Amino acid sequence: MTDLLVVVGARPNFVKAAPILTAAERAGLTFALVHTNQHYDDSLSRIFFDELGLPSPHVQLGIGSDSHARQTARIMLAFERELLRIDPQIVVVVGDVNSTLACALVAAKEHYPVAHVEAGLRSFDERMPEEINRRLCDHLSQQLFTTSADANENLEHEGIAADRVAFVGNPMIDTLARCLDAARERRVAARFGLAGGPYAVATLHRPENVDDPVVLARLTAALASVSRLLPVVLPLHPRTRERLERNGLRELANGVRTTTPLGYIDFLGLTADADLVLTDSGGLQEETTALGVPCLTLRESTERPITVTAGTNTVVGTDPVRIVSAAKAALEREDAADAMPPLWDGNAAERIVDGLAAALERRIELARTGS
C-alpha cells in the first residue's frame, strides 16, 4: 500500500510540495503524486516540475479552468476514482486552492486521513474563495501542519484539538533557501536592462483584482505611477493578460515592463534583488519576508499576518494614492527588516515528514493490535 498520496494543482502547491516529496523519499516513505492540472499552462506548471526536481506525476487529472463550482466538482469526480485505485495510508494536501479542498473532501468522505500543509491561515475575509477552502479543509483534516504561531491560535479558536496541530515552519522557504544562490546567478534583472539599478516587481492574479474592470484600472494606474519612481517589472499571469486586453488596459506606462510568466528560479532571482514588490499573492508575501524585500500587498487583508509583524509587508489595498504613498515610504526606509519568522529555517519539510511517519506508525500499530 502507498504511504502517501500527495495532491498538487497550482503553482504555489508545487513550491511547497517539492521539499516534502524529497524528505519523504529520504525517509523511505512511498508516495503517489496526483496533479489535478488546475494550473495547466506550461509557464505555470511544467517548468516548475523541471526546475524544482519534482517527479513526474503518477496521475494527471486534466481538469483545467472553470467556474469554482464546476472546477471543484470535476476535480472531486476525477480524484475519487484515483484515490480508491491508489488506496494510500494518508492523503496530503497543500495550500488553499480549489484542488486542496476538493481532494480533502473526497478523501474525508472515503474515510482516508487527511494531512493539510499550511493549515490555520485566516484572512477573515469570506469573499475570498481561498478563505472558504482553508477553513473547510482544516476541519476535514486529521493532521494540520502550520507555518506560524497565529495559525495555531486560529485553529484553537475554531475548536480544533491541539493534538491534531503541529507548528512545523514553512516548506515554501525550504525551496527558496535551496534555490536562492542559483536564482541570483542567473542575473535576471540584466535581461530587463536593470542590472545595478533600483527596480520593483509586481504581480496581479487574484479574481477580485483582475476580474473587476474598475479595480484593475485602479491597480494599473497605481503601477504606472510607481513606475515613475523606479522601473516596474510585471510578469503577466494568463488570466491577467486576458483581462487587460478585454478591458483596453493592455497599454501600460512606459516604466511598466510586462513579460510572460517567469519560471520559479528566474522569478526568485528577480525578486531577491528588487527594491520593492507589489503583489496580491500570498506566497510572495512570505518569500519577500524571507528575503528582506519590502512588499506592498494589493489587497484589503492578508491571511499571513506574520509577514506584517516581521516588518517587510504592508497591506495597502487597491487605492492608487495609498499605494503610491506606501511605495515612496518603503523606498525611503533605511532600516530594512530582516527578522526571519520562527522555524522558517529550511527544515520544515523534514518536520512535516516526521509527523507523517509517526502517524503511519500509529496506523500500523492500530492495525496490528486491532484496537
Active site residues: 205
Distances (CA, A) of 338 to 216, 283, 294, 297, 311: 32, 18, 10, 18, 8
* DSSP per-residue codes, 52-106: HTPPPPSEE-------HHHHHHHHHHHHHHHHHHH--SEEEEESSSHHHHHHHHH
From the list 335, 259, 322, 236, the residue with the least C-alpha distance to 294 is 335
CA distance 200 to 368: 58
Q: Are strands 59-60 and 90-94 parallel, antiparallel or unpaired?
A: unpaired
Distances (CA, A) of 342 to 135, 150, 169, 187, 338: 23, 12, 7, 30, 12
Angle between helices 264-272 and 171-185 (to 10 degrees): 80
CA distance 248 to 256: 16
Q: At residue 57, what are phi and psi to the nearest 5 degrees?
A: -60, 140
337: cell is: 527588516
DSSP 44: G
229: cell is: 519612481
177: cell is: 533557501
Per DSSP, the three-state class of 320 is helix
CA distance 43 to 81: 28
From the list 19, 70, 66, 17, the residue with the least C-alpha distance to 39 is 66
